[in-house]
């Protein structure tokens, strides 16, 4: 008898707490959203952790089943795109990062097709799906490549898949067509999933200058835009006369770029100072420097990195204006024998 009384009281207590929780959620939209959001974060973490074994042994059949289960679970909440989609996309991106062979991509083809049904505006989904299709339906693959290029003309992954198809077809005209489009394109960008860059996104348009002052080292960026494939003179007017020993240039390139400094001219009320490449020292966060036989150099900017280039030289006084003569171009994504536009 006492046992049944305990069960009765326990049941009443459980229902009471359930009532309190439901009341709490019903009365506060903010609390409801917070609890749902935290629940989704935990669920996404669980799903990504569940991929670990498959990623370690490179079992793309297993990984495909895991991703498909994730997608089907999300459909229980809505037939279309849900709050779970960012987590599914991040999990898929992790799986694709381990894919090397055509068979790897073929194993996840059905997953990529389902994700495109959720949202067909995402650049990388079209690129990945094109790769999965390339061995059995290259024409359909090229259509998805063209869609990806339309979404973000500057990113290189879509062009690389097109060149892979052209190479398999031994079609140099097709290859050269995509190389030419890639070389001349500059629009588009890629915003990181969690945090923006110093220019909000990775792109081939923005850069900024910061003066390396002798007395102070405050960050005071002067923003500008660069033009690809042309030797341009970029002018910067300073807010005050400044003693300096160099400049810092900030880039967030969406592609691997090649930068060549031809000359830096500094102006004060009394003098003009010209600094040639052989009078500069150069360091960077991620880039590489190639020295040329004529004592000039090129800086290879690494794609999808927030880059800082530091150029230093002799001390200069009371500078109020400077001009940077430089050329920026994209790195080639194929050789000139395959893409004649690079000759």
- Give 156-207 pLDDT, tens digit per residue: 999 999 999 999 999 999 999 999 999 888 877 777 767 788 888 888 888 8
Closest CA to 205 of 191, 186, 181, 222: 186
Evaluate the CA torsion angle 167, 106, 44, 24 in order and state its sign.
Answer: positive
Specify the CATH superfamily of domain 31-190: Tetratricopeptide repeat domain (1.25.40.10)
Residue 128 binned pLDDT confidence (cut-offs 50, 70, 90): very high
User: How is the chain split into domains, by residue range?
Assistant: 31-190, 202-330
Closest CA to 325 of 227, 245, 242, 238: 227
Residue 18 binned pLDDT confidence (cut-offs 50, 70, 90): low
Rounded mean pLDDT, 218-241: 85
Model pTM?
0.78
Distance CA(166)–CA(15), nearest Å, equals 66
Q: Quick one: tokens of 335? A: 């050789």
């Amino acid at each position: 008898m006492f046992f049944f009384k305990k069960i009765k009281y326990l049941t009443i207590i459980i229902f009471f707490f359930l009532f309190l929780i439901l009341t709490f959620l019903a009365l506060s939209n903010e609390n409801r959203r917070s609890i749902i959001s935290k629940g989704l974060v935990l669920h996404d973490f669980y799903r990504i952790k569940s991929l670990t074994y498959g990623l370690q042994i490179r079992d793309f059949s297993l990984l495909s089943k895991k991703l498909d289960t994730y997608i089907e679970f999300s459909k229980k909440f809505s037939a279309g795109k849900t709050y779970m989609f960012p987590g599914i996309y991040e999990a898929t991106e992790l799986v694709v990062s381990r894919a090397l062979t055509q068979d790897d991509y073929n194993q996840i083809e059905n997953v990529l097709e389902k994700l495109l049904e959720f949202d067909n505006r995402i650049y990388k989904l079209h690129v990945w799906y094109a790769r999965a299709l390339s061995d059995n339906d290259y024409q359909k693959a090229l259509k998805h490549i063209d869609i990806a290029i339309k979404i973000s003309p500057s990113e290189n992954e879509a062009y690389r898949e097109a060149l892979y198809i052209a190479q398999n077809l031994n079609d140099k005209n097709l290859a050269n067509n995509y190389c030419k489009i890639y070389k001349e394109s500059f629009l588009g960008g890629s915003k990181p999933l969690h945090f923006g860059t110093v220019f909000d996104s990775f792109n081939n348009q923005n850069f900024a200058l910061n003066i390396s002052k002798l007395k102070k080292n405050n960050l005071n960026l002067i923003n500008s835009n660069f033009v690809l494939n042309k030797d341009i003179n970029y002018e910067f007017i300073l807010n005050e006369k400044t003693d300096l020993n160099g400049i810092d240039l900030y880039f967030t390139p969406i592609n691997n770029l090649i930068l060549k400094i031809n000359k830096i001219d500094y102006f004060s009320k009394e003098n003009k100072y010209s600094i040639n490449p052989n009078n500069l020292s150069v360091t960077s966060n991620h880039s590489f420097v190639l020295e040329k036989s004529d004592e000039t150099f090129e800086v290879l900017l690494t794609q999808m990195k927030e880059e800082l280039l530091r150029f230093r030289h002799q001390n200069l006084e009371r500078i109020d204006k400077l001009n940077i003569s430089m050329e920026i171009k994209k790195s080639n994504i194929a050789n000139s024998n395959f893409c004649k536009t690079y000759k």
